Structure formats: structure tokens, C-alpha cells
Amino acid sequence: MIEEIRIRDLGVIAEATLTLGPGLSVVSGETGAGKTMVVTAVGLLLGARSDAGAVRTGAKSAAAEATLRLPPGHRSLERAADAGADVEEYDGGAELLLARTVGADGRSRAHVGGRQAPVGVLAELGEQLVVVHGQSDQIRLKSAGAQRDALDRFAADSQPEFPSELEQYRQLFRRWQDARLELEELKNTGRERVREAQSLRLAVAEIDAVDPQPGEDDALKVVSIRLSNLEQLRLAAQQSHEALIAEDFGGTSDATTLVDTAKRQLDNVAEHDEELKSAAAQLAEVGYLLADIATGLASYSASLDSEGPGRLAEVEDRRGALAVLLRKYGNSVDEVIGWADTARLRLTELQDDSGRIEALEREVQDAAGELAKRAAGLSAARTAAAAELSNRVSTELKALAMPDANLVIDVAPASQPGLHGADDVAFLLQPHAGAAPRPLGKGASGGELSRVMLAIEVVLAAVDPVPTFVFDEVDAGVGGKAAVEIGRRLAMLARHVQVLVVTHLPQVAAFADQHIRVIKTSGAGFTSSDVTLLDEDGRVRELARMLAGQEDSATAQAHARELLEDARTTRSLRGA
């Protein structure tokens, strides 16, 4: 709900703060005092189009701010967070700040949670937070989708199984739609899929003919380098082998002989010194190691003798075959193998087109039959709910000075099924018997339209997720008992949601939980307005002014107190 609204330099209001609470709040004041600026401020905070003409004369800009208190997890908090808003959380709820400034040049800026945001974000949040009824372009239930959703909420309240049936229909619709789209794609792209299959078949055959092995390209590169340097490798191995074991190597003894000589010299005296004995043991290990190395070099030389130009040519031919695959299918042999595996899976899928088409045709046909049955069930439930909602709203209209008006809710077959069923839902207003029902907002005055929306909202209040409602012109053109009924119904609505009403009727204002007065002050060359939250005595004086234009009249004040008492009694007796 809205905890506070702050207004600066908007219309005739220089600066004002409205502290609101739960229940019904009314705003009253003399004609021209600036009551509608309160609604204008709310509209700006909901993303309405800005108007430079609304900026107070002489001011550089106008501003509207609001502090909202919301329950934890409210859907608007996530959208605000996505826009970068800072949301202050506390036990049992969260606080969100909205702000809008309009310059004298017409430029507008919006802030959500202290962060600048597009005006469109305010509009998105506004749809979830506040409903304004006043002018025809402010009708919440203007669109067919909004009217269908409202009827569905009402149906869910009176028919507990309806939400489950609607969700089952939606799941089935999505499966039917997915299968139908896949079937259409298979049929429409048949030639392209045949060409794709042929291309994949040739590519896989080419790869299979070469039969590349994981890591083979790197392994062959190593072999190629060795075979390309065969003579240098053989010579180095032989000379190293001779240096280790030959009896004469360049006029000197080989390494094995020298190590053995050194070992034997130490063995002769090892019994006299442990350190020399240890050195002799180490030389023995070196001798064994040199012998192993010499044996390995001999084996390496022998293996080189078995390889030659023929083997090198064979390796290069294999590398050339792999290079052809690398140019077409990947940067390495492993990537080529992975591509081939994926291609085989896709080829299997393409080759099964005929079987898949038959299966999809059966699935689409079966789902369509089941979908029609479920859609018929939804239509029956909506038709029953529409009759009940229409009767209840029409009853409310009769008490709101529209005795001959009826709300007609038309549930008609749609041209094709959709995600929400196979119905077109339309809310129509029949102003009197014999008149053709017309869409909401057409053929009704602003006051009549507000009363129609009040009647609808009163009936839907218990199932509506929006926490705050604002009404302007709801009491235009009525008085007497009808005004009392409007006030009582606003109070009934306020049992479920926060309601803010701009009114000029004392019968309506008497039902308020809190009463706000806009007071105009005129001076030399200027006019301004102030906003005041009235206490009990202030309410009596304001109601006296609204009743007789004489707020100091004892008679008028007595009548005002009687009006307040009657309103309280009516609310108590009728549960409003």
C-alpha cells in the first residue's frame, strides 16, 4: 500500500505531503483547490505521460514521490530490483520509493528505489501496485486479456478446481503447439533435410575411410620428425654407445672401463675406511646404470635400422590424409572424430523423418481432441462465472444511481484455441433495457464509468492482487441515497485493499477512515494549495462546508456529525 505521497510544484500545489493508511482515504476541497492534482501525482508515479502544463507557474519542475510498503516476495519487488532499485527490507515487508519529476520544458525523469530508471519501469510497476479509475483511458479492464483474467480470477474463487483445469489445459496446449510446429517444420523443410542427410552421409563416409584415431596427428608428427633425422640419430646413438662400452675410444678407455677401474681401486682399501667403501658402492651403481644405458642405445640403433625412407613415406602419406580431414572438419583429429559422432546422430535423426512425421501426426491429432474437450470445460466454467459476475455487478450498479444498467459479459468461441483457452471474453455495458451492449469506456460519462468500475472492483476485491485503488469522478452527477451507497461500497472495497477517493460529496466522505482536505490560498498575484489530514473536529467542519457551504454553522456541523454517525452505523451493520 502507499504510505506517503509527496507533491512539489504540481498545479496549484506548491508543496504537500499526504500520509495515507489502510482502508478508505478521501480527498476533498473547494472547486479549483487542486484535488485532482493528487490523482495527477499518482498517475505520474505510474508512468503516465508527462505534461509541462502541470508544472506550477514560475517553477522549474514539478515532482511527485511515494513511499510504498509491500509484503515480502511481492512480484513488483523483483521487477524493481531488476531496474537496479534499492529496496529497504524490514520484518514483515519491504519499502519501495518511487519518484517522478517533470521539467517546465516537458522533460521527465523517473526514479525507482533511489535509482534512475526508464519511465516504462514505473508503468510496469504501476500495473501491479495501483489501479486508477477516473478517465476513460485509465480503465484497468480495457483489454480483452485483462477482462479474461478478471473473469478467471472470479471463476477460481467460486470454482476451486478451475485453476487446476486451466493449468492442465495450458500444459496440453504447449505440447500440442510444439508438436504441430515440429510437424510443420519437417514437412516444409523436407527437401532441405534430404540434402543435409546426403551431405552428412558423404562426410561421414570420407572420415570413416581414413579412420582417424584419437591423438594420431600429434603422434605421427613425432614419428615424422624422427624419421626425417634418421642418420643423425643413428650416428649419435652409436658414438654414445662406443663411448660407454668400447675398449678404445679416441685413444682412451670407455666410460664403463674407467668406472670399473676406479671401483676396483677403492675395493682394495675399502675395508680400512667406511667412506671409501660407500664411494665404491656408488661406483658400482654407476656401472650398472651405464651398462643399462648402453644396452638401450644398442636397441635404439637396431630399431632405426628397421626404419627408413619407406617408413617415412608411409607416415607422410598418412599425415596428408589426415590433413584433408582437418581442413574440412576440425583443427585436430580429436575434433574431427567429435564432429563425425555428432554428424552420425544428426543423420540418424534425418533418416527417421518419415517415422517421426507419422508419430507427430498422431500426437497432434490426439492432443487436438483432448484440447477441445478441456477447452469446452473451461468455456462452461467461464460462462457460469460470467453469469454470476454479471448479476452481482448489475446489482451493484442499481444501487449506484444506474438502475437500468447491466454489465454483460460475453463468452464467445475464439477463432482458434490459444494458451488461455478457446474463448473470447468481453465486458460490455448495457445502459438500459433494449440498448445494445457496448464496450466499457464507450457511451458512458466519466462519472458513470467510474461507478461501473467501482461496482466491478467491489465484486472482484477479494480475488484481486492489486493493493491500492484510486477513484476520481466516481460520484459525479449523483447525490442523496446513491451517494450514500457509493460511500458504503467504497468502504466495502477498502476492507480488502487501500482506497483513495477524490470526492465532493459529504455522503461519500463520511465513510472515510481518514479525511484529507486540499485548501486553496490566494494572495497578491499567486494562488497555492495546502494539504491537511483532518482530525475529528476538522472532519466535522469540512463535512459542514460540503453540506451547506458554512463550516462554522452549528446546524451544518450537527448535520455533519449525524452523517458521520450514520456512516459508521451503516458500515457496522452491513459489514463495510
Domain of residue 518 covers: 2-142+440-574
| CATH code of the domain in which 550 resides | 3.40.50.300
Q: pLDDT at residue 340 above 90?
A: yes
Least Cα distance to 320 among 205, 308, 312 occurs for 312
Q: pLDDT at residue 338 above 80?
A: yes
Which pLDDT score is estimated for 336? 93
In a domain, 525, yes or no: yes
Could you tell me whether strands 130-133 and 468-472 are parallel, antiparallel, or unpaired per DSSP bridges?
parallel
In a domain, 134, yes or no: yes
460-491 residue pLDDT tens: 887 877 888 888 877 777 778 888 888 988 99
Q: pLDDT at residue 558 above 90?
A: yes
Average pLDDT over residues 356-382: 90
Q: pLDDT at residue 350 above 80?
A: no
Band (349; pLDDT cuts 50, 70, 90):
confident
* pLDDT above 90 as % of the chain: 32
- Residues 133, 255 within the same domain: no
- Residues 47 and 119 sit within 8 Å (Cβ to Cβ): yes
Domain boundary among 331, 366, 400: 331
- Residues 444, 567 within the same domain: yes
- Residues 44, 133 within the same domain: yes
Q: What's the mean per-residue pLDDT of the chain?
A: 85
Cell (9 digits) for 325 = 580431414
Taking CA atoms, 363 is separated from 178, 187, 465, in Å, by: 10, 15, 38
- Hey, which of 241-250, 254-263, 381-390, 454-463 has the most confident mean pLDDT? 381-390
- Residues 222, 113 within the same domain: no
- Residues 138, 228 within the same domain: no
- Residues 486 and 474 sit within 8 Å (Cβ to Cβ): yes
In a domain, 179, yes or no: no
Which pLDDT score is estimated for 382? 96
In a domain, 416, yes or no: no
In a domain, 422, yes or no: no
Q: pLDDT at residue 184 above 60?
A: yes
Estimate to the nearest angstrom the gap between the alpha carbon of 295 and the chain centroid: 73
* pLDDT above 70 as % of the chain: 93
Q: pLDDT at residue 218 above 60?
A: yes
The amino acid present at 129, given as its one-letter code, is L
SS3 407: strand
Cell (9 digits) for 109 = 525523469
Cell (9 digits) for 424 = 473470447
Which pLDDT score is estimated for 105? 87
- Hey, which of 26-40, 198-212, 250-264 has the most confident mean pLDDT? 198-212
In a domain, 485, yes or no: yes
CA–CA separation, 484 and 336 (whole Å): 83
DSSP output for 276-323: HHHHHHHHHHHHHHHHHHHHHHHHHHHHHHH--HHHHHHHHHHHHHHH
CA–CA separation, 482 and 572 (whole Å): 19
- Residues 424 and 436 sit within 8 Å (Cβ to Cβ): no
Place of cell 509527496: 6
Estimate to the nearest angstrom the gap between the alpha carbon of 58 and the chain centroid: 42
Domain boundary among 287, 313, 331: 331
- Residues 138, 223 within the same domain: no
- Residues 107, 235 within the same domain: no
Band (88; pLDDT cuts 50, 70, 90):
confident
Q: pLDDT at residue 312 above 70?
A: yes
CA–CA separation, 388 and 397 (whole Å): 14
Q: pLDDT at residue 303 above 80?
A: no
Angle, to 10 degrees, between the axis of helix 446-460 and the axis of helix 353-399? 110
Rg (C-alpha) for the chain, rounded Å, is: 45
127-165 residue pLDDT tens: 888 888 865 455 677 788 889 999 999 999 889 999 999
- Residues 37 and 5 sit within 8 Å (Cβ to Cβ): no
Least Cα distance to 365 among 186, 135, 183 occurs for 183
285-297 residue pLDDT tens: 988 898 888 888 8
CA–CA separation, 478 and 402 (whole Å): 10
In a domain, 364, yes or no: no
- Residues 223, 320 within the same domain: yes
- Residues 112, 26 within the same domain: yes
pTM confidence score: 0.64
Cβ neighbourhood burial of 491 (10 Å; 0-12, 13-18, 19+):
buried
- Hey, which of 9-13, 164-168, 225-229, 551-555 has the most confident mean pLDDT? 164-168
Which pLDDT score is estimated for 25? 93
Cell (9 digits) for 46 = 505510474
Beta strands per DSSP E along 195-237? none
Helix, strand, coil percentages for the chain (3-state, nearest 5): 60, 20, 20
Cell (9 digits) for 103 = 521539467
Measured over the CA atoms of residue 526, residue 532, residue 536 and residue 542, the dihedral's sign is positive
29-65 residue pLDDT tens: 887 767 888 888 988 998 888 888 888 888 899 999 9
Taking CA atoms, 355 is separated from 127, 183, 295, in Å, by: 48, 11, 66
- Residues 227, 133 within the same domain: no
- Residues 12, 114 within the same domain: yes
- Residues 230, 133 within the same domain: no
Distant-in-sequence, close-in-space partners of 560: CB < 8 Å, separation ≥ 6: 506, 510, 539, 540, 541, 543, 544, 547
Number of domains in the chain: 2
Band (573; pLDDT cuts 50, 70, 90):
low
In a domain, 160, yes or no: no
Distant-in-sequence, close-in-space partners of 566: CB < 8 Å, separation ≥ 6: 510
Domain boundary among 331, 353, 372: 331
Here the contacts of 416-421 (C-beta below 8 Å, separation 24 or greater) are 417/173, 417/371, 417/372, 417/375, 418/173, 419/170, 419/173, 419/174, 420/145, 420/148, 420/152, 420/166, 420/170, 421/166, 421/169, 421/375, 421/378, 421/379, 421/382
The amino acid present at 492, given as its one-letter code, is M
442-459 residue pLDDT tens: 767 767 787 888 888 888
Q: pLDDT at residue 543 above 60?
A: yes
Q: pLDDT at residue 339 above 90?
A: yes
Which pLDDT score is estimated for 251? 53
Q: How many helices (H) and strands (E) does the chain have?
A: 18, 16
